[in-house]
Every structure is written in C-alpha cells, then in structure tokens.
Amino acid sequence: MLSEIIIGIIAAAIPLSITFVLVGIGEMFNQRAGVFNLGAEGIMMVGAFLGFYVEYIMKSGPGSSFLGMIAAIAVGSLMGAVMAVTCVNFKAEQGIAGIALFMLGWGVAGMLFRVYIGGTTSIVGLKALDIPFLNSIPVLGAILFSHNIMVYITLVIIPLSWYLLNRTAWGLKVKAVGTAPRAADTMGVKVDRIRFQCVVIGGAMAGLAGAYLSICQTHIYADNITAGRGFIAVALVYFGKWKPTGILWGALLFSLAHSFQRSIQVYGIDFPYEIAVMFPYILVIAVLAISGSSRIMAPTMLGRPYYREQRD
Amino acid sequence: MKMLKRILLIWSAIGMISSSVLAAETKLALVIPSTIDDLAWSQAMYQGIKDAQTELGADKLTFEVSERLWNAVDAGAAIRQYALKGFNIIIAHGAQYQSLLADIAPDFPKTSFAYGTGFNTPEPNIFAYDPHAQEGAYLLGMLAGLTTRSGIIGLVGPIKAGDAIKYNKGFEQGVMSVNSKAKVRVAYTGSFGDLVAAGEIARTHIKAGADVLTGTSQQTVGAINVVAEKEGLVWLSSDMDQKSIAPKTVLAAQVYNFKNVILNIVKNRASGVYGGKHLELSFANGGLILNFNDAIIGIAPKNAREKILAAKEKIIDGSLKIELN
C-alpha cells in the first residue's frame, strides 16, 4: 500500500513538472542572454487559449492538438518579439515591461475566450498513453511510461537545450551577451540580435507550456488557468542555476512536494491542510536560501540593457 | 371645497412620487472574484441577475459587472466607484468582501450593498445572502453513498471556509445516512480558481480508489474533466449544473437560484429597507434547485431518486436537520 502511494506521488509529479520545465527552459535562454521576462505568465495564458481554440474549432483529435500547440508556439513567439522590441530595442525596464505583458496576456486571453468561445467547454486533448511492454515494468512502468506524449517530448527538449547552450557557437554567444556584452560586441557578436532571438525562444516555450495546460492537463480553458505557474517557473530558473538539468530538478522537486501534499490530504493523514499546501513553497524558499551561491552563477548583465554607444 | 382641493393635490402628489419610485430604474452593480462564465459561483449570480431582469423588465433593472476582482483592494475601488456613480444596489459576490462593505457602506446610506455567503449585516444598508449549501450537499451525499461501488468518495475543496465547510459537512452527513461504510476523503487546493490543481487532486482521489467525486467553487471545472477521462466515474456538481462540460459524468447538481435574492433586495428597497437582512437560499424558498442528469441516472440504484426526493421534502418541512457544528 505504502509503495503504491509513493509510486503514485512520483508518477503524478512528472506531468505536473512539465509546465515548469517548458517555461523554465525558455526563460533560461532569455535570462542567459541578459533579459528576464516576467510576462511569461501572460504568454502562457494566450498560448493556453489559442492551443485550446485551435483544437476546439477543428473538432478535436491528436492532429488538431498538435496544431493547437504549434499555434501556441507561434503566438508565444510573437509575444516574445513584443517583449524583445520593448526591452532589447527600446531598452525599457524589463521588470515593468514583463508585468505589462502579463497583464496584456491575461486580458487578451480572457477577451478572446469570451468573444470566440463564450462559455466553459471542453476538448478531447492529448491523454496519457500506456506505452506497451514498458508500462508493465515494475515500479518504473507506472512512474515513467504512462504519460501524455508531451512529457516525452519535453524530456527530449532538456538535453537538446543543454546541447544548444553548451556545445554550439550560438550558445556561446548567448552566454557571452548575458555576461560580457561589451566583449561580445567587440568580437563581432550582435548583442541585440542574440538577445532578441532568446526572448522569442522564451516566449515560444511559454506559449507551448500554456497549451500543455489546456490541451494535455485540463482539456479546458478557463480564466487564469495558469494560476501563477509562469512566475514560479521564473523562480525555478534561479533555483536551477540557469542550467536545463537544474531547472528539471527544481521543477521535479516542486511538483513532488505538491504531489506529496495532495496525497497527504487524500489519504486522510492527520495534518493541517493549510501547512500542506504551503509545503512546496516553503521547500523552494528553503532550498534557495541554503544554496546561497545562486547569485554567483547568475548572468552578470541580467536585467541590464546594452547601450552600444555608452561606456560601461 | 378648499379642503377637498388640498386632499386631491396631496393625493396626486403621493401618487406621482410612488409611481415614480415603482417606475424608476434600479441600477445594480455586480463585483465578482472570477468571471461570468466560470460555470460556478460567479456565473450562478450573474444568471440570477439576468433572470431577475427578465422578470422585472429590462427598463426596470439594469446592471453592470466587474470581473476578476478577487483582490480586496481592487474590489474596494470598484465598489466605491459604483456607489459614487449612483448605483442603487451593489453586490460583492463573496464572503471575503464583508469587511470591505462594512467600511464603505456608511459613506453611502441610500445605497444597498450585499455580499455572501454570510449572515452578518454590520450596517443597516448591507444585506447578507446565505445559500444553504449543506442542504443540496446532503442530498448529493446520499446519491454518492448509494452510487459508489468502491466505497470511496473524493471531495475536491477550495479553501476550508464559508460555503465549502457547509457543503462538506452536509455532504458527509448525506453519505453516512445511507452508507455508513463509505469513506469521504477531502482534499483542498488552497485556492478557488486553480483548476489545474483541482484536476490533480481529482486524479489523486481516483488513484486512491474514488469512483464518485464532488467539489465546490469555480476551480471544479478542472476536476470534472479529469473525472470524465475514465468511464464509470461520476461527478456531483454544486453552484451550477455543470453537465454541459461532461454530460456522461455529471450525475446530479445543486443549483443556486440567486434570482430570488435580487428580487428580494429590489422589493425591500421599494419599501424603504436598504439592508440589515439575512437572505437565505434554501429548498423551502426556491433558492436551491436539485437537478438529476436523466441521461445517466441509471448508474445510481433504482430507488435512489425516490429516497433523495423524500429526504428533500423532509428538509423542506424541517423534519430533517443538517448539523453544521
């Protein structure tokens, strides 16, 4: 019984963590390049709506789910481009621009939902798949091989993003413009262009994460579907020290804590629920406090626009 | 003759004033924490206002809505603005707005304010409305107790407060009244609007063996879809009839009929009462409605509906009391 509960907790945490991983990886790219985007939450909302809407008008089915996700990536890229124009080209204050983008996304998604859907309705979405043979492996089968396909796609995205960042010339440029943009510029790297690309990638990933929520997790769109997950993902980038694997572990730890507290409640373990729901947040704060070296790992020019014509 | 003229003059003046009061347009403002299409708490009130408007006439009752004002500071600003613009009735739809209204209401003594779920009326121009969530919850609990095969029933709660406590207590008593061996497992998300978390709790309940699930607040739409993923599981809804989301899953619903609350407030104002009353919604006064989903009611035992309707009559005549302590 206890082993079943533990397996259930871990198995439930994996799909839950995917949202954070997707947004976190995207945010990692733009933060590595020196731009933090607090608007990820708003981009997620628009992505969640558009992904849902595309499947809704195409009357469901796996093909329409994937089209929905592509639409969410496209709109996320577009919103990322808006953020990039504002903060990279026009050098606006990144925190304020991010909050404005969040509010814009929330409003736009809600308005489009009201105009084009008009009320709560559901779609088929992408459901969990039991992978033949593998899902019957004891313990591992239940934990790893009974999830929707986006879980596996995300697990491929993690090493890909690591490779992109650490084994390609482009990745080197990204790290350079986030740490020493003046030096990168003198070496011929187009700082603003690289930053722009990274913010667009961050937007695309946030859009995809939003679509994951509506298409894979809830099969529905409702106002404020993201419920702060975009902001948590931004925090998890710090937690993960701007590394894809760090973000994965952070997302898994946070999701495990959530899954654990839900199981405590469901199985009737006598524990105040108020503390149980706080537990994941307390855990993240505690780990952040203990790992005080996070700031050392941070891109040194994070949040600071690059003025080519000015002296440092 | 002079005396007669005076009486006629006074009489016609009174007539003009009273007819102008009756004919006057009532302007109502609704402040809600979520949206008018949440298929739960906020939509139930929005629907109630629309129904009241249909009954009174569109020229007699007009209304405006401000959505997503779960934050008390933003809600307070909106409420004050509505009062300054001369709205007659301002409904702040949530227990969390009580202290806010107590602060604002004294500044606008001719404006009626209302909030719920609640029973305190801290100012003479504040109405408190109070759905007896426990009544429908008891009946839904009976249905759950009679329908469950696994003997495990899952409850997805928002925050342990107000309506949710009343619902949960009524539901558990209803289950126990027909199936003392059944287990009701309660888990809270800690939020009213986190539908992903509600879905995850539903998933955990299902993995723990629950085959009948229920819950309250706007987040439940997330849980219903998770329940609908597996055949043979049912959901019992509250606040509104949510079967439009999952017609083969939502077995029955307790519906809040807020129309009577609105009509009551309008009527009270016409007689010069601006607040100070506790307005209840119950099966006895038509404030609560119980809907069965006839398409799938066959899942429940044959005599379930009769037993539940008999219990409903007992609730109405007062012979069946639901304990909230």
Whole-angstrom Cα distance, residue A233 to residue A31?
12
Tell me, yes or no, whether B10 and B120 share the same domain.
yes
- Give the distance, in angstroms, between the CA of residue B269 and the centroid of all CA atoms in the same chain: 22
Contact B33, B194 (CB under 8 A): no
Cβ <8 Å between B205 and A266: yes
In a domain, B289, yes or no: no
User: Could you give the number of structural domains in chain B?
Assistant: 2
Q: How confident is the model at residue B218 (pLDDT cuts 50, 70, 90)?
A: confident
CB-based burial label for A281 (10 Å; 0-12, 13-18, 19+): middle
List chain B residues with CB under 8 Å of A122. Answer: 225, 228, 245-246
Closest CA to A76 of A49, A56, A107: A49
Whole-angstrom Cα distance, residue B219 to residue A34?
37
Lowest mean pLDDT among A121-130, A267-276, B127-136, B285-294: A267-276
Cβ <8 Å between A259 and B193: no
CB-based burial label for A154 (10 Å; 0-12, 13-18, 19+): buried
Structural domain containing residue A153: 13-227
In a domain, B109, yes or no: yes
What is chain A's pLDDT, residue by residue, as a tens digit (312 residues)?
778 889 989 999 999 999 999 999 999 999 999 999 999 999 999 999 999 999 999 986 678 999 999 999 999 999 999 999 999 999 999 999 999 999 999 999 999 999 999 888 889 999 888 888 898 898 898 899 989 999 999 999 999 999 999 999 999 999 999 999 999 999 999 999 999 999 999 999 999 999 999 999 999 999 889 999 999 999 999 989 999 999 999 999 999 999 999 998 998 888 888 888 888 888 878 877 776 665 567 899 999 999 988 766
What is the pLDDT, as a whole number, of residue B13?
A: 46
Could you tell me which chain B residue has the CA closest to the CA of A121? B245
What is the pLDDT, as a whole number, of residue B8?
A: 47
CB-based burial label for B313 (10 Å; 0-12, 13-18, 19+): exposed
| Tens digits of residue pLDDT in B255-270 | 999 999 999 999 999 9
One DSSP character per residue, A59-108 reads: T-SHHHHHHHHHHHHHHHHHHHHHHHIIIIIS---HHHHHHHHHHHHHHH
Return the H-helix or E-strand segment holding A176. Answer: helix A169-179
CATH number of the CATH domain containing B202:
3.40.50.2300
List chain B residues with CB under 8 Å of A14. Answer: none
Tell me, yes or no, whether B271 and B246 share the same domain.
no
Tell me, yes or no, whether B197 and B104 share the same domain.
no
In a domain, A239, yes or no: no
Q: How confident is the model at residue B2 (pLDDT cuts 50, 70, 90)?
A: low
Cβ <8 Å between A16 and B200: yes
Could you tell me which chain B residue has the CA closest to the CA of A122? B245
* Minimal Cβ distance to B221: which of A217, A222, A263: A222
In a domain, A268, yes or no: no
Contact A109, A52 (CB under 8 A): no
Strands (DSSP E) contained in chain B are 26-31, 61-66, 89-92, 112-116, 126-131, 152-157, 183-188, 212-215, 234-237, 250-256, 278-281, 288-292
> Is A262 touching B (CB cutoff 8 A)?
yes
In a domain, B105, yes or no: yes
What is the pLDDT, as a whole number, of residue A129?
A: 87
Distance from CA of B318 to the nearest CA of A (A): 33
In a domain, A305, yes or no: no
Whole-angstrom Cα distance, residue A3 to residue A26?
35
Cβ <8 Å between B38 and A12: no
Residue of B152, B189, B207 to mutate, testing the A interface (most A Cβ within 10 Å of its Cβ): B207
Tell me, yes or no, whether B138 and B200 share the same domain.
yes
3-class DSSP state for residue B290? strand
Cβ <8 Å between A262 and B38: no
Structural domain containing residue B151: 133-256+294-317
- Using a pLDDT cut of 90, give the percent of chain B over it: 82
Closest CA to A178 of A28, A22, A24: A28
User: Could you give the number of structural domains in chain A?
Assistant: 1
Contact A46, A240 (CB under 8 A): no
In a domain, A123, yes or no: yes
CB-based burial label for A78 (10 Å; 0-12, 13-18, 19+): middle
Average pLDDT in chain B: 91
- Give the distance, in angstroms, between the CA of residue A191 and the centroid of all CA atoms in the same chain: 24
Cβ <8 Å between A266 and B244: no
Q: Predicted ipTM?
A: 0.85
Return the H-helix or E-strand segment holding A131. Answer: none
Tell me, yes or no, whether B52 and B117 share the same domain.
yes
What is the pLDDT, as a whole number, of residue A295?
A: 59
Which residues in B have their CB inside 8 Å of a CB on A? Answer: 34-35, 37-39, 67-68, 154, 160, 183, 185-191, 193-197, 199-201, 203-205, 207-208, 218, 221-222, 225-226, 228-229, 244-246
Whole-angstrom Cα distance, residue B103 to residue B105?
6
Distance from CA of B117 to the nearest CA of A (A): 21
Contact A98, A43 (CB under 8 A): no
Residue with tokens 């809407």: A53
Q: What is the DSSP letter of B95?
A: G
| Tens digits of residue pLDDT in B56-81 | 999 999 999 999 898 888 999 999 99
In a domain, B48, yes or no: yes
In a domain, B324, yes or no: no
Tell me, yes or no, whether B26 and B169 share the same domain.
no
Tell me, yes or no, whether B126 and B142 share the same domain.
no
Cβ <8 Å between A277 and B34: no
Tell me, yes or no, whether B178 and B245 share the same domain.
yes
List chain B residues with CB under 8 Å of A12. Answer: 200, 203-204, 207
Residue with tokens 């409702």: A222
Tell me, yes or no, whether B102 and B60 share the same domain.
yes
Lowest mean pLDDT among A156-170, A206-220, B21-35, B94-108: B21-35
Whole-angstrom Cα distance, residue B142 to residue B144?
5
Tell me, yes or no, whether B302 and B162 share the same domain.
yes
Tell me, yes or no, whether B166 and B299 share the same domain.
yes
In a domain, B127, yes or no: yes
Tell me, yes or no, whether B224 and B252 share the same domain.
yes
List chain A residues with CB under 8 Å of B229. Answer: 127, 219
Q: Which of residues 19-58 of A touch B (CB under 8 A)?
A: 19
List chain A residues with CB under 8 Å of B50. Answer: none
Closest CA to A254 of A230, A228, A281, A288: A281
Cβ <8 Å between B204 and A12: yes
